[in-house]
Copies of this chain bind each other. A is one copy, B any other.
Amino acid sequence: MIVRDLHTAKNTERRVDSEGWNSVRLLLAGDNMGFSFHITTIYAGGELQFHYKNHFESVYCISGEGSIEDLATGEVHEIRPGVMYALNEHDKHILRGKTEMVMACVFNPPVTGNEVHRADGSYASADEHQQAAAG
């Protein structure tokens, strides 16, 4: 059994900081659960374009308010506590934080722990990541 606490994990290398957001990765590929689990904070006023070409992701809003725009259809969905979205088609999207939003995120395949978003808004696949790490 693995037990981890956000309040201590956020002061370790499990926390990744980036422009407009941070993410604390409570489960990673090395935990062998078949998915990774992150608590991600989107800052108020943040406007973030992501495109996970190599991952499925689900996001559940724990607190805060904002929206997600589906760039394939132009549709905008409101985000508030209790709303979940799932990128089952590797959907290219823009996330907007009206207030700070705290989200529970699941990635399949699991994130390895060292990914940062690339210019195209994606994470490398594990294979690409290994090549990059090796290169």
A1-34 interface (Cβ within 8 A of B): 1-7, 26-27, 31-34
The reply to whether A2 and B34 contact each other, CB–CB distance below 8 Å, is no
Interface of A: prevailing SS:
strand
Whole-angstrom distance between the alpha carbons of A113 and B29 in the complex? 26
The reply to whether B34 and A56 contact each other, CB–CB distance below 8 Å, is yes
- Considering the complex, give the chain B residue whose CB is closest to the CB of A75: B1
Q: A37-B58, A58-B37, A84-B26 are in contact. Are A77 and B32 (CB under 8 A)?
A: no
- Considering the complex, give the chain B residue whose CB is closest to the CB of A81: B6
The reply to whether B106 and A35 contact each other, CB–CB distance below 8 Å, is yes
Query: A interface vs B, CB < 8 Å?
Result: 1-7, 26-27, 31-35, 37, 39, 56, 58, 60, 62, 68, 70, 75, 77, 82-89, 91, 93, 104, 106, 108
Q: A5-B84, A37-B58, A37-B84 are in contact. List 13 more A-B contacts (CB 8 A).
A: A1-B91, A3-B68, A3-B77, A3-B86, A27-B86, A33-B86, A33-B108, A37-B86, A39-B60, A39-B82, A62-B62, A104-B104, A108-B108
